[in-house]
Every structure is written in C-alpha cells, then in structure tokens.
Structure 1
C-alpha cells in the first residue's frame, strides 16, 4: 500500500497532459481526412475489444485516440471509467485528475477521482473531490463520505458540521448500506448512519454522554442497526 501511495503521489506531481494542444514537433500533424479515418479504425477496434472482453486492447485504442484528439475529453473519460471498472484505482485516479485539471466540474471525473483515491488510502486527496461532488450535485451520499473521511482524518469540527448538515438534509427515502459481522449488507436510513457517525466522533473525543445520545437516536430510527448497537456498548 505504501508503494502504491508513493507512486500515486509521484505521478500526481507531474504536469497533466490531457487536452494539451499538438505543439510538440515530435507529434506528426495529420490532415483532417486522415485523422477521421484513423479515428474510425480505432473506434471500431475499441468496440471489438469490448465485444471480445479484451480490456487491454481497448485501453490501447483509447490512448491512441487521446493522443490524436487531445481536445476530445470523451476518450480520457472513458479510459478513467475502464480503469475504475477493472479496480485499477491508481490509474483511474490519475486519468480523472488530469480531466479535472481541464474541467473541474466534471461530475464523472470527480466521482472516479474521489472513490479511487479513497480506495488506495489517499484520504486527504479524496476528500476535496467528495466535497466538490456534494457542492455540485447536492448528493447526500457524497456529503456522508466527506463527513466520514473528515472523521477518519481526525478533523472532528469539520466532520460534525458535515454530519449536522446531513441530518437536516436527508429524507426517509435516503438509505445507505453497511457490511455486518455476518458478511451481509444491512441497509439503514442515512439519517441513522449520520447519527451513528456523530456518536463515533464524540466517542473519539472522549465525550461519552453525547456519543451515547447520538447512538440511541440512531437506534431509535433503525432498531436493527447493528453497528450503532455495537457502538452504544462502547459509550456505556
């Protein structure tokens, strides 16, 4: 994991190359007709690679399309999604970060960057992307992820602010899933999850009475909420 993080940070320190104009003399300038023909061939090859379940060839064709069409963001966006689908989170994050250097309001790139960086343990880098997602979309799950990462980074004041916003924002229809000790996913209301997280924040700060109240409120909303019940025992 440390090596993955080191390589990620090293790559992130490099200048983004997506959407740079073709000013490098080493890149041949193609006339429009030739470029259209080559693009059509690579797009057809990409479609075949998807049909025949050959992701490596598909990514190679996307790279060729990106180099030939640096202004067309469809290709890096597709490449980032393919890396993410293949659980190649470092590569997915790097491509998404380059996209964001061109368009910082790309929701798709923000999602891939946020979740990929979280997967490789780069929480401090994932957090701004989850925060941006919430500001752009109003998605409560992004706000919950922001709160949880803030808690994980011990940024308790920020985490409490996010949790309080979440408690006010969510509706009864908003749900979130958690893995139980039995290895199954338990779906609970997001408000209950926010209150459970609030209790965890207070517990970390040594405020057991406040933690106990938050856990009890979470259980009142979802009586079968196993994680909140376990946490309540710690606050006794």
Structure 2
C-alpha cells in the first residue's frame, strides 16, 4: 500500500468521532465561538478532501489555519506532526512535536514523534530522553529497547546495561518480536529477549569483557537459534 494511502487512512480515522471534540488538549480550550466553530468545520472538511486527493500541501495549510485559530487544542498539531513524519520530513515533525511537549510533557503521541524524528535526523542525545519518558509513561517495551540501544550507541554503558537488564527481566519481553536485516538483504524476526541479550553482549564486548559477551550472544542464540546478527557477533569474538 502506498504511503499516501496510509496517511489518508490514519488521518481520516483520527477524525472519526472527533469533529466535535475540542477538549483533547492538555488544557481545555476556551469556548469556541460560533463563527470559529463553522470555520473549523469547513477547514476540517477541506483537510480531509485534500488527503483524499493526495494534496498534502493543502492539507498542511488547513492544519496551520486550525492551529492558529485553536492554539490550545493539540489535536491539530498532532495531525501536522504525524503528517510531516509520514512524509519523512523529520526535522519538521520533531519541531512540531517538541512544541506540543512544551504544553503537555506527558503527551504520548508527541513523545513518540519527537523520539523517532530526532533519531532519524541523528540527534540521538536529544532523542534519548523522549524514549525514556515514553517507556516510563506507557510501559512500552520497544521504547525501553530503543532507550538501551541509544545509550549503548552513545557509550553510556552503565545506563545501557541497566536498561537492558530491566528489559530482560520483564516477563512479557519474550512475547514480542523485533525485525533485523540479514546478510542476504532480507529481514528476519527474532524475539525481543534475544535482541536484548545480543545488545547485552555488545555492551560487554565494547567494554572488553569478552567472556561475558560470549555468554550473552550464546544465550541470545538459545532464544532465537537463527538470529544472524548474534551469530556474527559471536563469531567476531
């Protein structure tokens, strides 16, 4: 399915049952005047039509109009940030999401968009606290994995080891899978537990603890015997 169709489905779904909802921001917006309410309805309809006809520029323009008219309603900023992210304009999506977090620092959608957008543009130091907050607020295990991986990449080894151990000890980590590339340019799914153990091995390896690294890679392969990356890491020792 083309990206434009995915955007259309996601954004139209967001509006289902939401055309009347003006209270989704962190601070309830002031009562909307009848004139503004009618303008909002018109702009929302044009926004949806623009998505349907894949006119992204018009869709973005209508969201800007809605944001300017309803500055305390984060729903429109969230849609704009999501639209920029889907279009791979990651700097713009990050900036919109971070503005949302200035208003509501516990906004899960804004944290997700900010974290992944900043990671995409290589701002790993700035992405890391957003992944940390995302895990703390939602309990999402993938966010914890991303936290540990970024900590490892940034050579924050003690923090990375603490995060990866938290992940390994979680009872639900074996129920989720992650996708990794293979040497044949394909992809394979492995358990998140195996991925966490492989990451633990990398942390040990970078610190020169090869015996501990070897044990971690071997344990990862016990959980996912076909895990190519863990095999490669083990062989590199």
Normalised by the shorter chain, which TM-score bucket? 0.7 to 0.9
Cα drift, residue 213 of structure 1 = 0.7
Give the TM-score taking structure 1 as reference length: 0.85
CA distance in 1, matches of 2:85, 2:215: 39
Q: For the Cα contact (< 8 Å) 1:43–1:61, is it kept in 2? A: yes
CA distance in 1, matches of 2:228, 2:173: 21
Are residues 1:105 and 2:103 paired? no
- Alignment-derived partner of residue 219 in structure 2: 217
* Alignment map for 1:5-24 (pairs within 5 Å): none
Cα drift, residue 183 of structure 1 = 1.6
Residue-pair matches, total: 208
CA distance in 2, matches of 1:223, 1:130: 29
Cα drift, residue 184 of structure 1 = 1.5
- Alignment-derived partner of residue 122 in structure 2: 121
- Alignment-derived partner of residue 195 in structure 1: 197
Q: For the Cα contact (< 8 Å) 2:93–2:113, is it kept in 1? A: yes
CA distance in 1, matches of 2:151, 2:187: 24
Cα drift, residue 150 of structure 1 = 0.1
CA distance in 1, matches of 2:66, 2:163: 41
Q: For the Cα contact (< 8 Å) 2:26–2:104, is it kept in 1? A: no
SS at match of 1:188: strand
Q: For the Cα contact (< 8 Å) 1:19–1:70, is it kept in 2? A: no
User: Which of these residues, 154, 162, 185, is aligned with residue 187 of structure 2?
Assistant: 185
Runs of 4 or more off by more than 3 Å in structure 1?
A: none
RCO (CA 8 Å, sep 6+): is it higher in 1 or 2? 1
- Alignment-derived partner of residue 27 in structure 1: none
Gaps of 5+ in 2: 1-24
- Alignment-derived partner of residue 61 in structure 1: 62
Cα deviation 1:91-129 (Å, max 9, x = unaligned): 000000011111111111110000000000000000001
* Alignment map for 1:114-193 (pairs within 5 Å): 114-169=115-170, 170-193=172-195
Cα deviation 1:106-159 (Å, max 9, x = unaligned): 111110000000000000000001001110111110000000000000000000
- Alignment-derived partner of residue 233 in structure 1: 235
SS at match of 1:172: helix
Q: For the Cα contact (< 8 Å) 1:151–1:159, is it kept in 2? A: yes
- Alignment-derived partner of residue 15 in structure 2: none
SS at match of 1:176: strand
Cα drift, residue 19 of structure 1 = 9.4
